[in-house]
Amino acid sequence: MNKNSAQNLALFDLDNTLLAGDSDFQWGQFMIAQGLLDRAVHHDRNVQFHEDYKQGKLDIEAFLKFQLHPLSQHKHAFLDALHLEYMKQVIRPMMTDKARALVEKHRAQGDLLLVITATNSFITRPIALDFGIEHLIGTDPEEINGEFTGGFVGVPSFQTGKVTRLNQWLAERGQTLADFEVSYFYSDSHNDLPLMKLVTNPVAVDADAELTAYATAQNWPQISLR
pLDDT score at 160: 97
Alpha carbon distances (Å) from 81 to 49, 76, 92: 26, 9, 16
Please say if 15 is a catalytic residue. Answer: yes
pTM of the entire structure?
A: 0.94
Per-residue confidence band for 6, with pLDDT thresholds at 50, 70 and 90: confident
CB 187 within 8 A of CB 181: no
The active-site residue out of 15, 111, 188, 192 is: 15
Q: CA torsion, points 127, 132, 137, 139, in degrees to nearest 10?
A: 10
Span 6-33, mean pLDDT? 96
pLDDT score at 4: 45
Per-residue confidence band for 41, with pLDDT thresholds at 50, 70 and 90: confident
Domains and CATH numbers, the chain: 9-223 (3.40.50.1000)
